[in-house]
Amino acid sequence: MTQDSGVLLRGAERLPVPGPLSTELYNRDAAVLSGSMGRVYPFVMERGVGCEVWDVDGQRYLDMAAGIAVVSTGHSHPQVLQAMHNQLNKFVHMAGTDFVNEQMVTVAEKLARSMPGTDQWQVFLTNSGTEGIEAAIKLARHATGRQGIISFLGSFHGRSYGSMSLTASKSTQRKGHFPLVPGVFHAFYANPYRTPFGIAPDQVTQATLDYIEKTMFGTIAPPSDIAAIILEPIQGEGGYIVPSQGFLCGLRQICDRHGILLIYDEVQSGVGRTGKMWGFEHDVEQNCAGCSHCKSLNRSGCTPDILVTAKGLGAGMPIGGIVARKSIMERWAEGSHGSTYAGNALACAAANTVIDLVQGGLMNNATHVGAHLMHGLRDLQSRYECIGDVRGRGLMIGVDFVLDRNTREPARAQANAMMEEAFKRGMLILTCGYSTIRFCPPLVLTTAEADEALERFEATIKAVWK
């Protein structure tokens, strides 16, 4: 056990944060970097291993945020580093838009193979999530010859113009940036905890599907003009919301009835985070069990036409991509789309190892340790009135804080205060939605680390809700 391992430092007294070196860098940052980047609390990273990180003043933290659900294999995973070193010794980049490299082809093969069903799939690699969303909506419009896109309230798809036009998470993200890309319509997400207009939770799936097919299609969005419906199978920035049962399947059926493409944004929920390679696979296997549509499609009924990935794919290296049915992707002629860094060999070397590690065990770890963490958080819910809901899948768990369990009024100020308090207690957490603390740690989290996180979380709750 190293001197600065978590166990040895666990009982050690913590210094007040931020320390002097962190403060200095924090001030330099404020002077020169755009204020558009929020600084949720003054953590300045020095290094990290697995789920542990250290700041520049030498203080240790348990990382339950993983760089916003990015560092899937944990900080400094030796196999990912080794793969990158090996590639560094050969070459870094050779324009994937113009030339072939083995790392890029291998990533694409692995992503194509990860899709369920018997269809053939093709891949376009990107540098980020937002760039993947742009590619997906360009492809959908190009392939269908239609312009309209249906997205969902509460969704987050990125910050570039196309993706921002789909995003409907916080109005500050749009303020001052109009006009947005035309042809986007927003529907209600089947949120079972805070249902649209307070309808009964057991009616939310049908009501939200009917709103699209009866109201929107009948009034503002002719289905023959709609290219795609795009959604996160589990909403991320919107509050870690698992939609109510049958929602994805119902959307698949609407798309099939009207020749619309279904796009899943798996940027946050994908690459093993929920315990399966893709978040939507839970719906294929659980929610739709017994549904005639899924049965007839050989249990791949909720499968999308285009899937967008990023974040966890590179475990910190900037890489994303879209995976589309070959019949759709092949409508793009040479030159229809491109990107200088698409298929960057170094990023692809990392992604290849990440996919192997995730499929080779880390997604199972997400299931098991996620269940342990969920159990502990539900225990806290049973003891603290301020926790209204604990939800999620695998290691994508949201804890929703409320002022009143009956009205479910979000406890925004307290949720924000909890981030700062947890930071003081040596744990990195982030909020999402109105008042949800999200747990999206590296997928290498151990049960001992989950227990440590629960301990620190309870101390944080006590401090904020005293």
Residues found near ligand PLP in the complex (CB under 6 A): 68, 128-130, 133, 156-158, 232, 236-237, 265, 267-268, 310
End-to-end CA distance of the chain: 36
In the bound state with ligand PLP, the residue whose beta carbon lies nearer, of 309 and 435, is: 309
- What's the min distance (Å) between Cβ of 342 and ligand PLP? 14
Which residue is nearest to ligand PLP, using beta carbons? 129
In the bound state with ligand PLP, the residue whose beta carbon lies nearer, of 107 and 402, is: 107
- What's the min distance (Å) between Cβ of 266 and ligand PLP? 8
Query: What SS3 string covers 90-140?
Result: CCCCCCCCCCCCHHHHHHHHHHHHCCCCCCCEEEEEECCHHHHHHHHHHHH
- What's the min distance (Å) between Cβ of 23 and ligand PLP? 28
In this structure, are residues 263 and 229 in contact, taking their beta carbons and an 8 Å threshold?
Answer: yes
- What's the min distance (Å) between Cβ of 273 and ligand PLP? 11
d(CA 83, CA 106): 13
In the bound state with ligand PLP, the residue whose beta carbon lies nearer, of 52 and 232, is: 232
Q: Any idea which residue has 């793009």 for tokens?
A: 332
In the bound state with ligand PLP, the residue whose beta carbon lies nearer, of 69 and 83, is: 69
d(CA 227, CA 133): 14
In the bound state with ligand PLP, the residue whose beta carbon lies nearer, of 62 and 69, is: 69
- What's the min distance (Å) between Cβ of 322 and ligand PLP? 12
Q: CA angle 265-339-121, nearest 5°?
A: 50
Provide the token pair at 309. 């990935």
- What's the min distance (Å) between Cβ of 429 and ligand PLP? 16
Residue count (the chain): 466
Provide the token pair at 247. 């929602």
In the bound state with ligand PLP, the residue whose beta carbon lies nearer, of 73 and 155, is: 155
In the bound state with ligand PLP, the residue whose beta carbon lies nearer, of 232 and 283, is: 232
d(CA 76, CA 408): 40
Residue 45's CB is within 10 A of a number of other CB atoms, namely 16
- What's the min distance (Å) between Cβ of 9 and ligand PLP? 31
| 423 phi/psi in degrees, rounded to 5 | -60, -45
**3 state SS of 314:** coil
